[in-house]
Amino acid sequence: MRNKIDPYVSDTAQQRRLYKRTLFVVVLSQIFGGAGLAAGITVGALLARDLLGTDAYAGVPTALFTLGSAAAAFLIGMMSQRVGRRFGLATGFLTGAVGAVGVIIAATFESVTLLFLSLLVYGAGTATNLQARYAGTDLALATERATAVSIAMVSTTFGAVAGPNLVEPMGRVADGLGLPTLSGPFLLAGAAYLFAGLILLVFLNPDPLLVARAIESKRQETTDTSVHKTESTHDSRGVYVGAFVMILSQIVMVAIMTMTPVHMRHHGHELGAVGLVIGFHIGAMYLPSLVTGVLVDKVGREIMAIASGVTLFFAGVVAAFAPADSLFLLIVGLVLLGVGWNFGLISGTAILVDATTPETRAKTQGSVDVWIALSGASGGMLSGIIASQSSYLMLSLLGGIISLVLVPFVLWYRRHLSL
């Protein structure tokens, strides 16, 4: 491995070529990863409702695969820190594929226990899909990190938008195989995660994180920089702020998104309409990424983090007051929800990457993604309880109001930076 890395350490042109190649490989894997991600989001709550016979626990699937993604995020981060992005990310996607197969078996035999266990394992794919964005930043210049994140994320759009709109066709495929209709999207998820993992395992070589670490080590030797000085560039405050922006965006987005399919089905919308709304939502989560990345790099991390809070607020308001039979307004609300999450994730990621060094980056990123996943699990779990005890309107409105906390928090951090 060292022989593969050495040519890149002192050759800037080689580094730039590897950076572009890494982005291409990440993009390719994310196309498949997005399709795998979309299955659980679209029909997970509906599958649980059918097996459990109640709406009160419809948020449990989202909570479970998000909880599973929390554990996976930590393990993938640790594995990436030790042996590189290639093996860490590939292992995560392949584990997600195993979870998808488990969901299919659970649905076939109507086993709630196996369903819940499989959703935990399936969550590894979600964690990997999210952590893959970091691979694009390992060799990026400081002025293009957000853009690198956005390129990795925008590629998820192709699979993520196609996934929900393949719900009905995959349901027919499942019917033809003698499987439950709602297990169909998980057939797609299993295959998609398998391909994503294999792409990274085969083509993400040499590993970008290991190369970045070797470059940093060489730079320290050349400039006679001490270990203590390098460690001092780790900005704990920046890590906390970046994490908070991503966590709050995640919890609000997951809570409203999880209960939207259930809310729609309650009011007579067909499964195809549910897939359409979620497809627009997931598209809005990822498609704006190229523009968002440029804005974060050019306009500023903090301004775009504030924009995230404001956009999520309007998303909650629109979703709350949209007439239940208005497909258009539901789409508008869920699109705003996706865009707000996109702003928060990319600006928060950029703040986090800026605040870390190659020596600690993967471990820190994995730890932060654990909290992002846990916040999503909390949002998914609480969303069903809040909606069943009050209403979808109250859930959406509460999410929008909570989002505004980002504004004063980021303004405080921005003032700290100017001191």
222 domain residue, yes or no: no
219 domain residue, yes or no: no
The one-letter amino acid at 80: S
Integer Cα distance of 273 and 278 in angstroms = 9
Into how many domains does the chain fold?
Answer: 1
265 domain residue, yes or no: yes
274 domain residue, yes or no: yes
Other CB atoms within a 10 A radius of the CB of residue 415 amount to: 10
Other CB atoms within a 10 A radius of the CB of residue 14 amount to: 13
64 domain residue, yes or no: yes
The domain containing residue 179 runs over which residues? 8-214+230-418
- For the chain, list residues with pLDDT below 70: 1-3, 38-42, 54-59, 62, 160-161, 163-164, 223-234, 418-419
224 domain residue, yes or no: no
Integer Cα distance of 10 and 213 in angstroms = 13
Integer Cα distance of 270 and 267 in angstroms = 9
CB contact set of 163 (below 8 Å; sequence gap of 6+): 34, 35, 36, 37, 38, 39, 42, 185, 188, 189, 192, 279, 282
Give the pLDDT score at 95.
96
The one-letter amino acid at 71: A
Identify how many contiguous H helices and E strands the chain contains and give both numbers: 19, 0
CATH number at residue 20: 1.20.1250.20
Give the pLDDT score at 274.
85
Integer Cα distance of 189 and 129 in angstroms = 12
Q: In 110-144, which ranges are continuous DSSP H helix?
A: 112-135
Give the pLDDT score at 223.
64
Cβ(210)–Cβ(5) under 8 Å?
yes
Nearest partner of 28 among 155, 198, 176, judged by Cα: 155
Give the pLDDT score at 418.
66
Give the pLDDT score at 335.
96
Its pTM stands at: 0.76
Region for residue 373 given its phi and psi (left: phi exceeds 0; alpha: psi -120 to 50; beta: otherwise): alpha
220 domain residue, yes or no: no
Cβ(265)–Cβ(274) under 8 Å?
yes
CB contact set of 141 (below 8 Å; sequence gap of 6+): none
How would you class 182 by CB atoms within 10 Å of its CB: exposed for 0-12, middle for 13-18, buried for 19 or more?
buried
225 domain residue, yes or no: no
